[in-house]
Amino acid sequence: MAEFLEFFAFKDDPFRITPDVDFFYMSSVHQEALSSIEYVTESGEGFAVIIGEPGTGKTITIRKFLSRLPESVEYAYILFPNLSPEEMFRAVLEDFGIEIDDNVSKNKLFSQLRNFLIKKKEERKKVLIIVDEAQNLPVETLEELRILSNLETDKEKLLQIILLGQPELERKLNLPELRQLKQRITVFFRLRNLSKNEMVDYINYRLAKAGNSSIRIEKGAYNAIYRYSNGNLRTINLIMERALMSAFVSNRHGIKKEDVLTAVDSLGLKTLKGNNKKYIISIIMLFIILAVPVYFYNLNNKDKSFTADYKKSVIKRGFVKVNKLNMRKKPSGDAEIIYVLRKGDSLDILEGREDWLKVRYKNITGWVNKKYVGPIDDKAGIRKSSDLQSKTY
């Protein structure tokens, strides 16, 4: 390994699989995930859930979040939590450094944790419980966490809980017996794979962090990496690690497409090819054959073009005036929060209803309180309001 690092003038291995916050790449989706988690801590809300397929960066995102926490926040970090409620309480208490006897009952464990939380609140400290791979939690343990999240003073919660998991966690949270827990989730965020441009930036970023930004990677190599990884962080790392090794063995300081294909072959990765690709192309052609006549029929019978229809659907545009603004599923302050908007975010305003606006931000549609949204001059693109506030609504 030392010879490999020296050959490429690396100070560190740029594509090792273990999460390292020094190599954390701030893509747009990971920035939004970080902001969403930080919102939970700042606002004192009860639950946050981060969902993502394996390799999308859940663990490194939460570790980046933890590395930025102030000393006024204490946390328990639970990994691989296939735990009963009693085992969960024990794991949390032990992570907080609280000694417990082997024969203590679940009620006593709950009481000890409650006393710990009250003590920390008196010390003006916030407390988090973070559960990684939370899809492995039994239903009864998730329900106990909901009960635990009910602990509060007259003014605020004693505890915030962050769950990270694979899509199975979302399916579990949709179970009827967990509907009360789901109602308490104030932040729900889905991580996605990187786009191709983000993938290129990600690779170059990690090479630079490792100490050598001059390694040349052919365009065909980038294309092959994206084709076989689909932008998944973990798969990108695996391919790049072995592609660099292939170049090292060939005594080359750049990455060619053949290096990527060698890496892909050694990893046993697959993509659409052969009959599968022909089958997909056939389906697409069939769709086109069926869709084109319908398209032209609709086109000839429309009063306005698609562009006009879009403009008609958007009453006007606006922007978020306050530091953070909750986007809710329904026009109600009690409705589920589906996204947290940031100050300055541009919005398409679709509909108004009393004190609420239905807005679209990127591909997300929901309701916000209209008094925290300012108008944008469509011609000049100038934000008219100067009343920029710093609270969360």
- Written as tens digits, the pLDDT of the chain (393 aa) is 678 899 999 999 999 888 889 999 999 899 999 988 888 888 777 789 999 999 999 999 999 999 999 999 999 999 877 889 889 889 999 999 988 888 888 888 888 898 999 999 899 999 999 999 999 999 999 999 988 888 876 667 889 999 999 999 999 999 999 999 998 898 899 999 999 999 999 999 999 999 988 999 999 999 999 999 999 999 999 999 999 999 999 999 999 999 999 999 999 987 644 444 554 454 455 555 555 554 445 545 544 443 444 444 456 888 898 888 888 888 988 787 777 888 888 898 888 888 899 998 877 889 999 888 988 754 344 344 333 333 445
Structure tokens at 295: 């398209």
For β-strands 47-51 and 160-165, DSSP reports them as parallel
pLDDT of residue 271: 67
Task: Give pLDDT, residue 338.
Answer: 78
Residues 6+ apart with CB under 8 A from 61: 24, 30, 33, 34, 37, 50, 191
Q: What is the pLDDT of residue 19?
A: 87
Q: How far apart are CA 305 and CA 302, in angstroms?
A: 7
Instruction: Please give the pLDDT value at position 377.
Output: 57
**3-class secondary structure, 221:** helix
Q: In what order do the strands lie in the sheet with 364-369?
A: 337-342, 324-328, 364-369, 356-361, 346-353, 316-320, 373-375
Give the position of tokens 């009693």: 86
| pLDDT at residue 291 in the model | 52
Instruction: Retrieve residue 354's tokens.
Output: 């009393």
Contacting residues for 57 by C-beta, under 8 A, at least 6 apart:
30, 191, 233
Structure tokens at 314: 């958007």
Q: pTM higher than 0.75, yes or no?
A: no
- List the one residue out of 108, 177, 176, 165 whose CA is nearest residue 137: 165
Give Rg (Cα) of the chain.
25
- Helix H or strand E encompassing 91: helix 85-95
Cβ atoms 388, 343 nearer than 8 A: yes
Question: How far, in Å, CA of 26 to CA of 29, rounded?
Answer: 8
Pick from 146, 147, 140, 139: which is nearest to 171 by CA?
139
How many C-alpha atoms does 349 have within 13 Å on its Cβ side? 20
Q: How far apart are CA 140 and CA 85, in angstroms?
A: 7
